[in-house]
Amino acid sequence: MGKDKLKKFAKYKSFPFCYENLSFDQPQLIDSQNQAVSIAGQWKPTLGVALGDLILELACGKGEYTVGMAEHYPENGYIGVDIKGARMHQGACFVNDKKLSNAAFIRSRIELIEHFFSPGEVDGIFIIFPDPFLRNRSASRRLTSPPFLDRYRKICDPKATIRLKTDSPELYKYTLGVIQKQKLQIKYQIDDVYAGQCSLWGLQEIQTFYETMHLEAKRTIMYVEFNLFT
Ligand SMILES: C[S@@+](CC[C@H](N)C(=O)[O-])C[C@H]1O[C@@H](n2cnc3c(N)ncnc32)[C@H](O)[C@@H]1O
């Protein structure tokens, strides 16, 4: 790791609202004091959420949705998850500077997500420009593939929705196929996010690092939100 990344990573680890876990053998969260903590079942009180929702942003990168939504909807709690701490450092600094009490970050593999939350604790999941893993033999690594949906079902409320924003026609089509096969209900399907006005706050207002690059390359941005349970 370069010096700059190491610095960002150390800063990320210093914030009390940033956690990590990298062990498949001992999937327990570690806090900024290097202490093992179990917050599963306690995320809402930890983030000061009384009546609102708990929403995850998976593959959050710099965490633009986590911080943008947390600022706009203070009644909800938002948690960004990614394996790259140096990237999440940007979102973590924002949370720290703005003193947002309703946002947190977890550095881990999304494959471990079921260990960090209790059944039914999560009310919704954003998946924003995930890697599309285009080769067929990598399909099970796609974050909207059946094995990942099964992981989400272990921690999500029956009313939870999955919200995918992508520039990849292949991943979009693949996800629509999974939705159809599993007989899941689509709440919103927008084939071109910027074609007109949009009533879903955040979809046009928040643009992530990857989205900015895709927009510069004039790629079409797609969105689908669907119920996780039938
Ligand atoms: C293309 S980037 C998108 C980042 C951000 N959402 C954006 O729009 O700028 C994909 C991100 O997914 C993360 N990622 C991919 N697979 C992952 C996994 N299995 N567990 C945790 N993070 C993962 C990568 O580290 C990377 O930051």
| % of residues, the chain, pLDDT over 90 | 90
Q: Which residues contact 216 (CB under 8 A, 6 or more apart)?
A: none
Confidence of residue 5 (pLDDT cuts 50, 70, 90): confident
Question: What is the CATH number for 97?
Answer: 3.40.50.150
d(CA 54, CA 41): 11
Instruction: Please give the positions annotated as active site.
Output: 131
d(CA 49, CA 163): 21
Ligand 1 centroid – CA 210 distance (Å)? 10
| % of residues, the chain, pLDDT over 70 | 100
pLDDT for residue 151:
98
pLDDT for residue 18:
97
Ligand 1 centroid – CA 74 distance (Å)? 25
* Total domains in the fold of the chain: 1
Q: Which domain holds residue 203?
A: 3-227
The predicted model gives 120-143 an average pLDDT of 95
At 189, phi and psi to the nearest 5?
Answer: -130, 115
The predicted model gives 40-58 an average pLDDT of 98
Ligand 1 centroid – CA 87 distance (Å)? 10
DSSP states of the chain: --HHHHHHHHHHHHSTTEEE---SSS--EE-TTS-EE--TT-HHHHTT-SSS-EEEEET-TTTHHHHHHHHH-TTSEEEEEES-HHHHHHHHHHHHHHT-SSEEEEES-GGGGGGSS-TT-EEEEEEES-----SGGGGGGSTTSHHHHHHHHTTEEEEEEEEEEES-HHHHHHHHHHHHHTTPPEEEEES-TTSS--SSTTTTT---HHHHHHHHTTPPPEEEEEES--
pLDDT for residue 37:
95
Confidence of residue 136 (pLDDT cuts 50, 70, 90): confident
Ligand 1 centroid – CA 48 distance (Å)? 27
pLDDT for residue 51:
96
Q: For a ligand 1 pocket test, name from 131, 133, 168, 208 the mutation site with the most ligand atoms within 8 angstroms of its C-beta.
A: 131
Residue nearest to atom 4 of ligand 1 (CA): 61
The mean of the pLDDT values for the chain is 96
169-181 pLDDT tens trace: 999 999 999 999 9
pLDDT for residue 137:
83
Residue nearest to atom 11 of ligand 1 (CA): 59
Residues with C-beta less than 6 Å from any ligand 1 atom: 59-61, 82-84, 87, 109-111, 128-131, 208-211
The predicted model gives 23-31 an average pLDDT of 90
150-165 pLDDT tens trace: 999 999 999 999 999 9
Q: Worst-scoring range by mean pLDDT, 16-25, 61-70, 101-110, 115-124?
A: 16-25
